């Protein structure tokens, strides 16, 4: 791991920043080694402190070109002086996915991500695999995910998840029969499962995107995501 990355992790943790790598956890370490980017979600109340830490570590915030930009996401880049390697952080205030300016969604129960985060041997907080799998299913209908990334993600989830673990981690946002369907999807490696009857549990109608949508991905989004305007 790069020295600059180790400094970032140490600073975030010592300053009690609530943060985690929210997607791509099957290769979470790569970004900290300068291979690709790092998708970091920070709790809203800690965002200004997190940005101050990035500035102290000589990260530079650059404005993304408008056609590539997403709401609630910033790009930060730094040079690891010891190796001459660039580190690229996508800093998320909210979990957003989909097609910018076309059809983009924000995941509502983000607090759950911080409560259920897993800490690695490198003291990196990563998304709980059950929640990441759930989000992966939602993202499949709205983003281009390459076959290679899908296969690697699928293998990662299959190695770490059982129907019992899914029920433990997702019981606040899904019903048991919905989790059973998700597990069947995981076992079969299918990217879609039959429609499910979903009943809102925790979120008000104002928070629910109530469009006509097809398949589990869009039905799930209808309850746990809000359309980004």
How many residues make up the chain in this entry? 229
| Residue 210: C-alpha distances to residues 49, 80, 186 (Å) | 36, 46, 26
Q: Are 55 and 39 in contact (CB under 8 A)?
A: no
pTM of the model: 0.81
What whole-number distance in Å separates Cα of residue 89 and Cα of residue 47? 14
Asked whether the CA dihedral 100, 124, 56, 18 is positive or negative, the reply is positive
The tens-digit pLDDT sequence of the chain (229 residues) is: 999 999 999 999 999 999 999 999 999 999 999 999 999 999 999 999 999 999 999 999 987 665 566 678 899 999 999 999 999 999 999 888 877 666 777 887 889 999 999 999 999 999 999 999 988 887 876 777 888 888 899 899 999 999 999 999 988 888 888 788 788 878 876 654 433 333 333 333 233 332 322 345 555 655 566 565 4
Listed by start position, the domains of the chain span 3-227
Asked whether the CA dihedral 31, 34, 35, 37 is positive or negative, the reply is positive
The contacts of residue 49 (CB under 8 Å, 6+ apart) are: 15, 17
The full 3-state SS of the chain, as one line of letters, equals: CCHHHHHHHHHHHHCCCCEEECCCHHHHHHHHCCCCEEEEEECHHHHHHHHHHHHHCCCEEECCCCCCCCCCEEEEEEEECCCCEEEEEEEECCCEEEECCCEEEEECCHHHHHHHCEECCCCCEECCHHHHHHHHHHHHCCCCCCHHHHHHHHHHHHHHCCHHHHHHHHCCCCCHHHHHHHHHHHHHCCCCCCCCCCCCCCCCHHHCCCCCCCHHHHHHHHHHEEECC
74 has which bridge partners?
Answer: 91
What whole-number distance in Å separates Cα of residue 33 and Cα of residue 102? 33
> What's the burial of 190, exposed, middle or buried (CB within 10 Å: 0-12/13-18/19+)?
exposed
């Amino acid at each position: 791991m790069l020295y600059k990355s180790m400094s970032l992790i140490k600073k975030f943790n010592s300053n009690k920043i609530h943060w985690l790598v929210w997607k791509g956890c099957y290769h979470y370490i790569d970004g900290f080694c300068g291979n690709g980017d790092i998708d970091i979600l920070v709790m809203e109340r800690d965002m200004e402190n997190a940005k101050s830490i990035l500035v102290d570590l000589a990260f530079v915030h650059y404005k993304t070109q408008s056609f590539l930009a997403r709401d609630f996401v910033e790009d930060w880049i730094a040079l690891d002086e010891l190796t001459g390697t660039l580190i690229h952080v996508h800093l998320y205030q909210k979990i957003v996915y989909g097609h910018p300016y076309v059809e983009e969604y924000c995941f509502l129960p983000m607090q759950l991500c911080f409560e259920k985060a897993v800490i690695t041997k490198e003291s990196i907080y990563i998304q709980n695999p059950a929640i990441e799998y759930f989000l992966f299913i939602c993202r499949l209908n709205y983003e281009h995910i390459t076959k290679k990334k899908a296969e690697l993600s699928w293998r990662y989830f299959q190695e770490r998840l059982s129907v019992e673990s899914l029920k433990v981690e997702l019981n606040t946002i899904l019903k048991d029969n919905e989790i059973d369907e998700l597990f069947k999807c995981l076992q079969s490696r299918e990217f879609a499962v039959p429609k499910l009857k979903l009943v809102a549990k925790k979120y008000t109608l104002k928070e629910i995107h109530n469009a006509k949508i097809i398949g589990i991905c869009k039905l799930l989004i209808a309850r746990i995501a809000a359309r980004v305007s």
